[in-house]
Amino acid sequence: MLDPLGVVVNETPGLATPGASQSSGGVRRVWLRKDDDVRRRRFTLCHELGHLLLRDAGQEEALSVASVERLCDEFGSLLLIDRQALALQLADGFDWAPVSVLALCRVWKSSLTPMILALERATGANGRVVLIASKRVNPRTGVDPGYRVDAAAGGSLFLPRNQRLSSLGLTELASWCEDRAGGKRGDGCDKTAQIVVLRRKEGEGAFLCGPVRWAAARLVHGVLAVLDVSAMMQPMK
């Protein structure tokens, strides 16, 4: 139990999602997928605490699912990574190579999602978008397998979770992911991508970006990619 919040935490093997939470009868419960590594479980716990707080405040149902998930991700990241301390650590610059992002995760004992959100806030992203993708089916239809966005951060660009990389115009990156599906963690590539269609934020029209350079590194269960979108063009008409 987490005191003084009074949260009962259960670690359950084989859970379908990384975590879940519930408030009932004055008792708050969080379930974590025991199969995940400890860094992922720490972030999931903080994320689910965000859900509990929103629920207690009566705000969760007033927001879209995407907005709720983003808020809980941000909340979890804030609990785990001190923004000022990270900014001081990076005061002399940051090269934005995927291996450098992974190195920061090791230093902070953090999983990737809270780290890329913290980097966005601490550095302003500086024309970079960092995304994590894994190969899976469309969660709504159960078909159409492909590399899809798990989490993304950077500037005000909107890369929705579960979007296929190829549908964002990242066809070369998607092909790179497929070609290196059996590669080791840390393998990388840096090349010019095709023209990419991205949106600044949810609800706005698409922006035309390109060429976009990207660097990628294999993870155990996916890919970490850093996109350089500093050459973003004008809004599409």
For 137-173, the pLDDT digits (tens) are 988 888 889 999 998 887 666 778 888 988 888 888 8
Q: What is the pLDDT of residues 79-93, one digit of tens each?
A: 999 988 998 998 888
Q: What is the pLDDT of residues 176-223, one digit of tens each?
A: 888 765 555 444 554 555 556 666 666 666 666 667 788 888 888 889
Structure confidence at residue 127 (pLDDT)? 75
Residue pair 41/15 in contact (Cβ under 8 Å)? The answer is no
Answer with the residue of higher pLDDT: 161 or 45.
Answer: 45
C-alpha torsion 205→128→85→108, nearest 10 = 110
Q: What is the pLDDT of residues 49-72, one digit of tens each?
A: 999 999 988 888 888 888 899 899
CA distance 147 to 132: 10
Residue 159: count of CB within 10 angstroms of its CB: 20
Q: What is the pTM of this model?
A: 0.80
Report which of 162, 107, 97 is spatially closest to residue 136, judged by C-alpha positions. Answer: 162
What Rg do the C-alpha atoms of the chain give, in angstroms? 18
Show me where the domains of the chain are located.
Answer: 7-78, 113-228
Answer with the residue of higher pLDDT: 207 or 3.
Answer: 207
Residue 91 has φ and ψ, to the nearest 5°, of: -60, -30
Q: Is the peptide bond before 160 cis (omega within 30 degrees of 0)?
A: no
Structure confidence at residue 65 (pLDDT)? 86
Residue type, 228: D
What is the SS3 assignment for 211? coil
Residue 137 has φ and ψ, to the nearest 5°, of: -85, 170
Residue pair 78/72 in contact (Cβ under 8 Å)? The answer is no
DSSP labels, 84-99: HHHHHHTTT-----HH
- The per-residue pLDDT of the chain, averaged, comes to 82
Domain 7-78: assigned CATH number: 1.10.10.2910
CA distance 32 to 159: 26
CA distance 48 to 28: 10
